[in-house]
Amino acid sequence: MKVLAGELTETVYYTPSSTDKENGPLKVKSEKTYQADQVTYISDDIGLHRVHNPHPQSVAVSLHLYTPPNAADMGYNIFDESTGRASFVSQAKAFKPSS
C-alpha cells in the first residue's frame, strides 16, 4: 500500500489460530502511521491488518496492489476485532476486456 495523500494508520494483528474456536479479541502485533509517499507491505505470513484515517476530517488516499494480479478475485476473510471470528467475502471478478 502506498499513501498518496494525507496519512493512514495501519494496525497489524496476529492471525488467529484456525483450530481455536474461542479466539477472543485480535491481538495487536504493531501499529504505525504512514505519511504521503510512504509504503507498507502485508502478507498472510505477516498477519492481518486494518488501515484507517487517524484524522477523519482530512482526506487520505491510498493505492493498494495485489499479487498475483487476480488475488482479490479469490475473495478474502474479514475478522471481527472483538472476537477474532472470520467471515468470508466473495469478490467480483476483475474486468477483462474481450478481444
The count of C-alpha atoms lying within 13 angstroms of the C-alpha of 56, restricted to the half-sphere facing its C-beta, is 1
Q: Render each residue's pLDDT in the chain as its tens digit; 99 residues.
A: 999 999 999 999 999 877 665 678 999 999 999 999 999 999 889 999 999 999 989 999 999 987 776 776 777 888 899 988 888 888 766 666 666
Q: Is residue 99 part of a domain?
A: no
Instruction: Give the three cell numbers for residue 88.
Output: 468470508
Where in the sequence is the domain holding 14, given as residue range(s)? Answer: 2-89
Long-range contacts of 60-63 (CB under 8 A, 24+ apart): 60/3, 60/5, 60/6, 60/7, 60/8, 61/3, 61/4, 61/5, 61/6, 62/1, 62/2, 62/3, 62/4, 62/8, 63/1, 63/2, 63/4
Q: Is residue 7 part of a domain?
A: yes
Q: Is residue 11 part of a domain?
A: yes
Q: Is residue 63 part of a domain?
A: yes
Number of domains in the chain: 1
Q: Is residue 98 part of a domain?
A: no
